[in-house]
Amino acid sequence: MDILQQLYDTVLERKDEKQEGSYTCYLFEQGLDKILKKCGEECSEVIIAAKNGHHEDTVGEIADLTYHVLVLMAQRGITPDDVENLLRSRRSKAGNLK
């Protein structure tokens, strides 16, 4: 099983079974606005780390953003398979400029 699916499964467990002191549970308790705020913050931190050319910092911030996006996905009922299937369908399209 790949690490993103494992992390997503853990996020779902925290959503369903509250654990004292869990940051993931805290995010779900605070609701969608808090989750979205954290996604925005992490996205900004990725941009800054990348702009500054700090490889390790950029990798760390991408990992943080990925985690928060997985929490958002779980909150909204979006699975990694949903995203993977869409990416597969886009990959088969040539000249898909946006």
Q: Which parts of the chain sit beneath pLDDT 70?
A: 1, 95-98
So what's the pLDDT on residue 1?
60
8 Å CB contact between 72 and 13: no
So what's the pLDDT on residue 92?
83
In total, the chain counts a number of residues equal to: 98
Q: pTM of this prediction? A: 0.90
Residue corresponding to tokens 């995010």: 27
For 38, what's the count of Cα atoms within 13 Å in the CB-facing half-sphere?
20
